[in-house]
Structure 1
Amino acid sequence: MPLRKRSEAMALDLRSYLPTLMAGIAGAALAALAGIPAGALIGSTLAVAGVSALGLKVGLPNGLRDLAFATIGVSLGSSVTEDVFGQIGTWGISLSILILSLIVTVLTGRLLLTRIFGLDAQTATLASSPGTMSNAVAIAAEGTGDATAVMFLQLMRLLALVILVPPLAVAFETSEAASGLNQTVMGLPTLFGLLAAALLLGMIGSRLGLPAASLLSGMVVSSAAHAGGIAQGATPAWVIFGAFALTGAVLGARMSRVTLGQIRRYALAGLSTVATALIVSLIFALIAVELTTLSFSQIWIAYAPGGVEAMAAIGLSLGLDPAYVAVHHFARIFALVFIVPIALKL
């Protein structure tokens, strides 16, 4: 690309980055001050989506996106100690129910979209995948199903659940869920080292096609460092706030891809899919509550059919046990990697 065109493209990108960052930070701050559950994430998402609706170009560089996801992953892994590995056995029932809920969510969403809304089976399967949106969209872009429909329905599900899940989880909760929070604060040199390692691994994972690679690498690096005694303490609150604001800005920017034609064509299908997925996750969360001693909000955040990055951020912001959330999102990512291709072949 000639130097002049390259500089013009860079200037255009900067003109979209600045409004996105300003709107995201302002929306995150206002929602947090208002006391909204997961306010930084929700406020940033809605603010950037609103700026986009006004006709301004929005977006963030991939580097900032990956940094935000890696930070959330590091924060989730910061509570993993040697004691946590002993608890994984007690979470076996919860993990088993989670995998069953993922299967039922994909199959019921697929049935709804094919029988009632007339979508083909492959498009319906990818649109019903409850998480790892980037993976579902990538599969559709390669020629499996209708990529436009998959993108819209996944974005609609993601935005609806980011807004609905936190207040519902708080409203349904009757007991204190934050039992495993790390009270000490991690030093900045340690944090920067973990983030650098997470970003490097995330880059490798992305090239290998791993969904949510930066988030997953952050969990892996932080969990290993804390369990091995190399790192101690939780991520500073101001760093987590920044990660939530950036993550919300990324989610809000994704909504700019939605067109009025897509809304008219797929809105009812999207709302029906979200409602069905929510009901399925609620049912299985209630079953898990009866069979375990865990709190409802903690289980439901792990089961909620949103994007992995968004649900992980919500669980962290609500003060739920980060180790529990991290382990379940590990399982959720890998389960969907196997469930979706099998469902596509049915």
Structure 2
Amino acid sequence: MSGPKPSQATILGHTLMTLVIAAAGGFVGQMAQIPAGWLMGSALAAAGAALAGVKVTVPGWLRDITFVLTGMSMGANVARDSLSLIAQWPISLLGLALELVLIIATTGYMLRKLFRLDNATAYLSSFPGHLSFVMGIAATGLGDPRQITIIQVIRIMMLTLCVPMGALFLPIEHFPAPANIVVMDAQTLVMLAIACAITGFLFTRLRVPAGMVLGAMAAATAAKLGGLFDGAMPVPLANLTFVLVGALIGSRFAGITLTEFRQAAIGGLIATAMTVGIVTAIAYGVSLLVDMPFGQIWLGLSPGALEGMGALGVALGYDTAFIAAHHVSRLLMLTVAIPLVAMIVAPRKSQPV
């Protein structure tokens, strides 16, 4: 029997506590000069608090605001010459398709053989993205939903961490920052925010994957490329967006006990390591064929959450149009792959071993 529903005041209190924790972590990350410090510090702080039992909460309305701000930020940072590179994208999209096949096949096999997970749990845990779709299928009786959640959340968290940490050691270049950054005025900012929110809502109603983020980015990108504005988001608002994304990532650890976390963490970490290895190898191969920074290709091919990878792309100075296009393509590929694999593993679950 479930407990009483929390009051609005309680939810608001938990939300404010979450934001304070995330902001404090982001500030520490920035002061420590961690790449994408506001994002990474806030995500680590919120995740740690959730695992420690703090009621880390990001309500639906704040989540949607976060998605809209993320899409705005990505669209505002789209390079004007990004469309000139579109002829090179089929190569990276082919690499993305190959990558997905390798990740699902190898990590699913590993989880099944090494950790003795049933077929459904192993392969639903191996899908690099579309967590809501995966969990919806798991809720019908396929696999262990909590095991799948922990493994998937660890994957998202670790992939979000790998890129900025890798920036310290790997050849992940930053684009030079403009000498004089023009910030959009308040009226433009408000009008753009309204357009992004409306477009995000429409995309969601049309059941577009990650509709709020992609709708907001589509509106901001169209306005940017159409010459309706040329300024960047104000720095405080951009930093707030990073903190909100970090809080959202950390909140995915809410409700997971330390015992449950430990039981699935090893499998999740190994699966993540395998995923990172495959992504890095494919990204390196693609980088030999196209004229783009390795880090940008890595972010485009990496199967992290769109809002997390998009925010990292903004923080690291990469072309967010390229990153978003590849994440949308990944989600579309998974939309077809997930039900197909689910149909394959479903009969095997009831077979005697």
Give the root-mean-square deviation of aligned CA atoms.
Answer: 2.5
Shift of 1:80: 4.2
What TM-score do the two structures reach when normalised by structure 2? 0.87
Distance of 1:233 and 1:248 partners within structure 2: 25
Encode CA deviations 1:13-72: one digit per residue, 9 max, x unaligned.
Answer: 122112101111111111112110111111111212233344321202212211112212
Structure 1, gaps ≥5 residues long:
none
For 1:246, the aligned partner's letter is L
- Match for residue 284 of structure 2? 286
Q: From 251, 254, 257, give the equivalent of 2:252.
A: 254
User: Conserved in 2, the CA contact under 8 Å of 1:37 and 1:166?
Assistant: yes
- Match for residue 212 of structure 2? 214
Shift of 1:175: 4.4
Secondary structure of 2:182's counterpart equals: coil
What TM-score do the two structures reach when normalised by structure 1? 0.89
Distance of 1:330 and 1:181 partners within structure 2: 32
Distance of 1:170 and 1:203 partners within structure 2: 38
Distance 1:241-1:132 versus aligned 2 partners, 3 A rule: farther
Distance 1:198-1:123 versus aligned 2 partners, 3 A rule: farther
For 1:273, the aligned partner's letter is A
- Match for residue 120 of structure 1? 118
Q: From 296, 299, 305, give the equivalent of 2:297.
A: 299
For 1:133, the aligned partner's letter is L
- Match for residue 32 of structure 1? 30
User: Conserved in 2, the CA contact under 8 Å of 1:70 and 1:218?
Assistant: yes
Distance of 2:57 and 2:330 partners within structure 1: 28
Determine whether 1:22 maps to 2:25.
no
User: Conserved in 1, the CA contact under 8 Å of 2:79 and 2:319?
Assistant: no
Shift of 1:136: 2.3
Query: In terms of mean alpha carbon deviation, does 96-105 or 12-21 score higher?
Result: 96-105
User: Conserved in 2, the CA contact under 8 Å of 1:180 and 1:321?
Assistant: no
Shift of 1:204: 4.2
Q: Aligned residue pairs: how many?
A: 341
User: Conserved in 1, the CA contact under 8 Å of 2:47 and 2:253?
Assistant: yes
- Match for residue 272 of structure 1? 270
Shift of 1:324: 2.2
For 1:279, the aligned partner's letter is G
Distance 1:117-1:78 versus aligned 2 partners, 3 A rule: same
Distance 1:180-1:154 versus aligned 2 partners, 3 A rule: farther
Distance of 2:314 and 2:21 partners within structure 1: 22
Encode CA deviations 1:69-105: one digit per residue, 9 max, x unaligned.
Answer: 2212122222447743332112221222122212221
- Match for residue 141 of structure 1? 139
User: Conserved in 2, the CA contact under 8 Å of 1:49 and 1:253?
Assistant: yes
For 1:62, the aligned partner's letter is G
Shift of 1:163: 2.2
User: Conserved in 2, the CA contact under 8 Å of 1:315 and 1:325?
Assistant: yes
- Match for residue 153 of structure 1? 151
For 1:156, the aligned partner's letter is I
Determine whether 1:55 maps to 2:53.
yes
Shift of 1:178: 5.4
Distance 1:335-1:182 versus aligned 2 partners, 3 A rule: farther
Determine whether 1:86 maps to 2:88.
no
- Match for residue 311 of structure 1? 309
Secondary structure of 2:252's counterpart equals: helix
Determine whether 1:202 maps to 2:203.
no
For 1:305, the aligned partner's letter is P
For 1:27, the aligned partner's letter is G
- Match for residue 9 of structure 2? 11
Shift of 1:304: 1.9
Structure 2, gaps ≥5 residues long:
345-353
Which consecutive segments of 4 or more residues in structure 1 shift more than 6 A? 179-182
Determine whether 1:46 maps to 2:44.
yes
Secondary structure of 1:255's counterpart equals: coil
